[in-house]
Amino acid sequence: MAVPGFPENLDPQQRSQHQLERLQETLNRAYRSVPFYQAAFKEKNIDPLDVGCLEDLAKLPFTERRHLAENYPYGLFAVPLRDIVRIHTAPGEGQAPSVSGYTAQDLDLWRGLVARALMAAGVNANDIMQIFLDPGLASWGRGYKDGAEELEASVIPLTALPLEKQQMVLKDYKTSVVVTTPSSAEELCQGLYAEGIKFNELALKTLIFAGEPISQEDRDVIAGKLHVDTWVHYGLSEVPGPAIAFECKAHEGLHVSEDHFYPEIINPATGEPAAPGEEGELVLTTLTTRAFPLIRFRTGDRVSYIQEPCSCGRTLCRINWHQERTDNIVVIKGVKVHHAQVMAHISKALGFTPTCCRLLAGKKGDRVGLEVWLGMDDTIFSDEIKELEKVVDNVENALIQELGITARVRLAEGEVECAEPGRREVAP
């Protein structure tokens, strides 16, 4: 299976030349077709022709998630709508989601990228792959389905089944590969243990973590419980989905698909390039995307380069993906949740903006989700229990519907306390 692009073991100097050519094509297309980029370049007094080497990319302005919301829905598309064959949405920073579009060529490239990452994890035509992701990652489910089918593997697509049904499918359908988030994998382990299922009787051999980073300790625990090999994929809902970076058999960091994305690591406070080996924020520029080019997109993910060559023979650069972020976004089962976005949906559901609100993300019992504490002041307080329950239901339903994640709302008098071990507060 050949991925459109250049070889994974290409000489670094040759790769840089290919990247520069693709970067210049992307910049010219974005400048010509996307008013946002045309205005941003002119504000910096930069012309795409000024980029004569990869290092010149640092002269260009960043693209941030707020820009996606400000150009909702189609303002960042670089092709006419008649050329768009698929449209995806992802949670944004406010009420408006971020919208990305794909041409037929984009989908072909995406399918190849996912297939390459799956193949590196040993997935082949003999496998039955089950996709177990939250509804908020529905577009990733389609990407993994397409990539697995490219390898002629059998696929059990992403379906909104409760945990118990997912366990039944895993056991009865002889699933050999599961694609899921670390949080959902932990829930799966707990559910299988509760049912008394013997893991050595399962056909499962490969577990692919997507959507969020995982510590080596937690990874080893899950792998030990399920008796599987584990792999990590990195992706973004904005550019264009899963498997932008992937693990090889060496399990020594994630290879970035440099033939389609140009990576930078910057100091998140200054925006300047991070020193060699230093942790920083990952910034990505698309090199081959037709419909939705993104230039210097700030991901908020904290990473660091691995300098040593990989024993697998690939020369694609590698990164370590760290659990901390550089922004005030929290990741719940792979779904990115922004404080301003949650507040927008809460305010819409209530009809006003609450004066006191705390957000928590983390594990509660055997489930992972978002917990919202609302301080009860005169705008919320009611003597009628039914009215308070209605307030809670309205907010919960709005968050679940808009974000596609589990949400729980609690009411507290006055200021609300949220510090609790093992859980993270989303900073306002």
| pLDDT tens for each residue of the chain, 428 residues long | 555 556 777 788 888 999 999 999 999 999 999 999 999 999 999 999 999 999 999 999 999 999 998 999 999 999 999 999 999 988 777 677 889 999 999 999 999 999 999 999 999 999 999 999 988 888 899 999 999 999 999 999 998 888 999 999 999 999 999 999 998 999 999 999 888 888 888 999 999 999 999 999 999 999 999 999 999 999 998 877 798 999 999 999 999 999 999 999 999 999 999 998 899 999 999 999 999 999 999 999 999 999 999 999 999 999 999 999 998 787 888 888 877 778 887 888 877 777 666 766 655 444 557 888 777 666 666 656 677 788 788 888 888 877 767 788 887 765 544 434 344 444 44
As annotated, the residues of the chain forming the CATH 3.40.50.12780 domain(s) are 1-327
As annotated, the residues of the chain forming the CATH 3.30.300.30 domain(s) are 332-412
Sign of CA dihedral 29, 98, 73, 353: negative
Dist. CA 182–CA 364, nearest whole Å: 15
The 3-state DSSP class for residue 105 equals: helix
Dist. CA 139–CA 90, nearest whole Å: 9
177-180/229-234 β-pairing: unpaired
Using CA atoms, how far residue 31 sits from 42, 263, 268, 396, in Å, is 10, 20, 26, 42
Amino acid 382: pLDDT:
63
Residue keyed to tokens 């193949």? 119
Amino acid 4: pLDDT:
54
Among 148, 110, 84, which residue's Cα sits nearest to residue 5? Answer: 110
Chain-centroid distance of CA 99 in Å reads 14
Amino acid 54: pLDDT:
96
Are the C-beta atoms of 342 and 349 separated by less than 8 Å?
A: no
Amino acid 423: pLDDT:
44
Q: What is the DSSP letter of 97?
A: P
So what's the architecture of 332-412 in CATH?
A: 2-Layer Sandwich (3.30)
Amino acid 175: pLDDT:
98
Amino acid 374: pLDDT:
77
Tokens, residue 215: 């510590």
Are the C-beta atoms of 231 and 246 separated by less than 8 Å?
A: yes
Are the C-beta atoms of 211 and 137 separated by less than 8 Å?
A: yes
What backbone torsions phi and psi does residue 307 show, to the nearest 5 degrees?
-80, -35
Dist. CA 321–CA 15, nearest whole Å: 23
Tokens, residue 297: 């997109």
Among 341, 337, 343, 331, which residue's Cα sits nearest to residue 373? Answer: 343
What are the start-end ranges of the H helices in 202-358? Answer: 216-226, 339-350
Whether omega for the bond prior to residue 73 falls within 30 degrees of 0, making it cis, is: yes
Dist. CA 293–CA 125, nearest whole Å: 33
Tokens, residue 19: 């990247």
Instruction: Please give the CATH topology (third level) of the domain spanning 1-327.
Output: Rossmann fold (3.40.50)
Please state the pTM of the whole predicted model.
0.87
Residues in the chain: 428
The 3-state DSSP class for residue 40 equals: helix
Dist. CA 342–CA 340, nearest whole Å: 6
